[in-house]
Structure 1
């Protein structure tokens, strides 16, 4: 059972919104459900009566959900038609053969609520009184997982590399990493433990996890490079930490005209990470890492759970869209070249 299944869609607005914002999965779900709606304004829509019939509930139940989850359902495609739009839909309905709809009563009304496919799915993920809604939720979860894996080429561990900014961020971070390790070598009087120690301090400062904890969450093998799995924004922030702290180490070491003791270097880092300018950058990095990993990798960072927010549609396009697929192919073709360049840098 996946983490997504453990978190009930009925209970989790974030999970519902992530599904509704994933246009690639929505297209597959629409195919699988085979729901016949009313063609209207270049899409298919459903009336309450049609939704009630499909979910095997009464319209009063739907009205209750529309009242209790008004903001969510309206923001995801439920709309009340009036005026010319309603006249246009009435004309469309008069030409249809749909026995579950009372056309006589519709002719008399001055407004009418309709569900597009997103709004219909949103409601189906909320309704607890319907066995069909429960089965549909399971189908939705299965399709979402399959779609992400398929579009990511069979696995999502390195889905971060499908972002066009990854290559630049990766090389840039490698350069600043060398500045950081050289500063530790020249300015801190400690053994080789200082390198993983201060690397972990950066990780904990940014995403509240040591390297070992992060590796466990993503199930990384010993030989897999942790930084190869990081999103470009995280790499950029790590590079900023490494560059900035390296400068602080050299400045303090030069002022004292000697290497710093571990205690002095620790105090310097504590002061460095507490600077207020880091907060918005760290908060943004935590939101992106926690939210993306949950959706794309089914990886839950418990330390960052409070930062989880729904991904926007542009995020799905960024990592699953055609442009990202082209980038993945280019990365595959040039992977050997990248490795050689990294070894030389």
Structure 2
């Protein structure tokens, strides 16, 4: 894992994806909350902060908070900003009276009150450009996010994909489809051994717009590292579908012609194969997950997939950093034990 998220750290104030990747990381948020140590009004099991409190904390005017809110209302609302009124506002006022000095009378006459939870408070700190304190907060946030991911992945994210509970089974089942594909190239295509590299790269380029060498450079893999061992299970699934599907086409066409296929015939067949509409939703999903996760977890930018980058959902942080995620060694051991039990039942 690199020491800094170079891309994400460039400017949190201008990157909605970078902000959301932090706010969706519940593991980092817990550590950030400990470090910041700011407690608002405990209301509905969450700490809440008023605009006045946050204006004082960030050393800006309430007008600055309001302007920021007006320009980013949808994002802040999604991340925990809300307006209290009616019974909820009455209950909030009671909570203030019970927890704070009675002199805290900034909202006695109001009938609607905007409040931020801790997540929205952090969101605000990543949007305020005129606060030195917010700038310091952004630096602290990034440090904690990096440290949290490092601790949970043992110091490296190159193989974070292997912490997914689906990875081992998908990788192993993919080996069978891979053999089916290479056997078809061997038996039905009239080319030398270079054909294995050529058509593997065609599949990679069709799915995620990079050949193996380009992918290797982006993830900083050396020549001894297997690129598939760094791929997410959804990408492996799609590669397997391509390989088994195209192998079947090669077999059928060769048998129809009663000879091996030329490189031109194989290229034509592959172009027709990849243009099938059925691949579109699967490619879109694989590209989005690969581009977004690699930027968030690996600080790796796939430039050909920039249009597919979005924030990583909370579920993915659980998937790769949570209790269900485990190192490959643990997964392999569990898989071996599961196979042994199946064999004993047979």
TM-score, normalization: structure 1? 0.93
Residues 18 and 180 of structure 1, relative CA distance in 2, 3 Å threshold: same
Q: What is the match of residue 343 of structure 1?
A: none
**Aligned-partner SS, 2:198:** helix
In structure 2, what is the Cα distance between the partners aligned to 1:132 and 1:314? 31
Q: Distance in 2 between matches of 1:125 and 1:192?
A: 53
Using the alignment, how far apart are the partners of 1:98 and 1:146 within structure 2? 37
| Residues 1:12 and 2:34 aligned together | no
- Corresponding position of 1:166: 167
The question of 1:23 aligning with 2:26 is answered yes
Distance (whole Å) between structure 1 residues aligned to residue 52 and residue 81 of structure 2? 14
Alpha-carbon separation, structure 2, partners of 1:237 and 1:22: 27
Give, in angstroms, the shift of residue 332 of structure 1.
Answer: 6.3
The answer on whether the counterparts of 1:3 and 1:300 sit within 8 Å (CA) in structure 2 is no
Q: How many Å apart are 1:98 and its aligned residue?
A: 5.5
- Residue 109 of structure 1: how far off its partner (Å): 1.2
Give the structure 1 partner of residue 50 of structure 2: 47
Deviation, 1:145, is 1.1
The answer to whether the 8 Å contact 2:84/2:115 transfers is yes
Q: Measure the CA separation in 1 of the matches of 2:5 and 2:88.
A: 43
1:269, CA displacement in angstroms? Answer: 0.6
Aligned position for 1:216? 217
SS at match of 1:45: strand
TM-aligned CA deviation for residue 247 of structure 1: 0.3
Q: CA distance change for structure 1 residues 259 and 328 in 2, over 3 Å: closer, same or farther?
A: closer
Partner of residue 136, structure 1: 137
Alignment partner for residue 97 of structure 1, among 100, 106, 113? 100
- Distance in 2 (alpha carbons) for counterparts of 1:305 and 1:278: 20
- Secondary structure of the residue aligned to 2:108 is helix
Partner Cα separation in structure 2 for residue 208 and residue 322 of structure 1? 33
User: Residues 336 and 223 of structure 1: is their aligned pair in 2 closer, same or farther, counting only changes over 3 Å?
Assistant: farther
- What is the CA–CA distance in structure 2 between the aligned matches of 1:159 and 1:122, rounded to whole Å? 26
What residue is the counterpart of 1:155 in the other structure? Answer: 156
Instruction: Name the CA distance, whole Å, in 2 between partners of 1:46 and 1:328.
Output: 42
State the match for 1:81 in structure 2.
84
How far off is 1:129 after superposition? 0.5
Aligned equivalents of 1:24, 1:72: Cα separation in 2: 21
SS in structure 2 at match of 1:322: coil
Q: What SS is found at the alignment partner of 2:115?
A: strand
1:68 is displaced (CA, Å) by 1.0
Q: CA–CA distance in 1 between the matches of 2:197 and 2:240?
A: 15
- With the length of structure 2 as denominator, give the TM-score of the two structures: 0.93
Counterpart for residue 344 of structure 2: none
Task: Identify which range, 35-44 or 238-247, moves more after superposition.
Answer: 35-44
Gap regions ≥5 residues in structure 2: 339-346
**Counterpart for residue 233 of structure 1:** 234
Aligned to 1:342: none
Across the two proteins, how many residue pairs are aligned to each other?
Answer: 335
Moved beyond 3 Å, runs of 4+: 4-7, 96-99, 332-338
Structure 2 CA distance, aligned partners of 1:243 and 1:28? 45
1:254-269 equivalent positions in 2, closer than 5 A:
254-269=255-270
Output the CA distance in 2 between the equivalents of 1:107 and 1:6. 41
